[in-house]
Amino acid sequence: MKQIDFTTSFTVFENASELPPDMQSLMQKAVEIRKKAYAPYSQFRVGAALWLDNGQIVLGSNQENAAYPSGLCAERVAVFQAGAVYPEAKILKMAISAASDNNPTTAPIPPCGACRQSIAEYEFKQDSPIEIYFMGETGAVYQSDSLKNLLPFMFDKNFL
């Protein structure tokens, strides 16, 4: 028997104003689209903004549905939109902001498991990492150089 240890590394910014200017702008877009989320059931709103290598910005917000789990998270809305509209573009950076209508969200809120797997698919497809920045409504922003920090045992087509 042996043990395998993994170490992940994140950069922590005390708040969004400490981000580099280009990331401040991308995070602000995530915040703005978060406010347009359709979240009548959870009252939990998430916005995602992607920066593509062709210079385009793609946005997504969570879209809920009474026939749960038919809705989609903001990250998947944005990633799938980028894949549909700009299939040859690479996703360079992703900014995510989440907020509850009922409780303050001051801790960084990462993508859920389904979103992590979807982002992993695009990292694999484009053969390059996606920088991910995530935060709550306010407070610290965590930055990961790759989805692999959030999902070290990635499932991809090599297992099929």
**Residues with active-site annotation:** 75
DSSP-based three-state secondary structure for 158: helix
User: Annotation-wise, does 112 bind a ligand?
Assistant: yes
d(C-alpha 85, C-alpha 90), whole Å? 12
User: Annotation-wise, does 122 bind a ligand?
Assistant: no
User: Annotation-wise, does 81 bind a ligand?
Assistant: no
Spatial contact of 19 and 27, defined as CB atoms under 8 Å apart: yes
Spatial contact of 45 and 34, defined as CB atoms under 8 Å apart: yes
User: Annotation-wise, does 64 bind a ligand?
Assistant: yes
Angle at alpha carbon of residue 113, lines to 80 and 96, rounded to 5° = 60
User: Annotation-wise, does 32 bind a ligand?
Assistant: no
Spatial contact of 33 and 74, defined as CB atoms under 8 Å apart: yes
User: Annotation-wise, does 73 bind a ligand?
Assistant: yes
Buried b (16+ CB within 10 A) or exposed e, 92-121: bbbbbbbbeeeeebeebbbbeeebbbbbbb
User: Annotation-wise, does 15 bind a ligand?
Assistant: no
User: Annotation-wise, does 63 bind a ligand?
Assistant: yes
- Binding-site residue set for Zn(2+): 73, 112, 115
Query: Which residues belong to the annotated binding site?
Result: 62-68, 73, 112, 115
Binding-site positions for substrate? 62-68
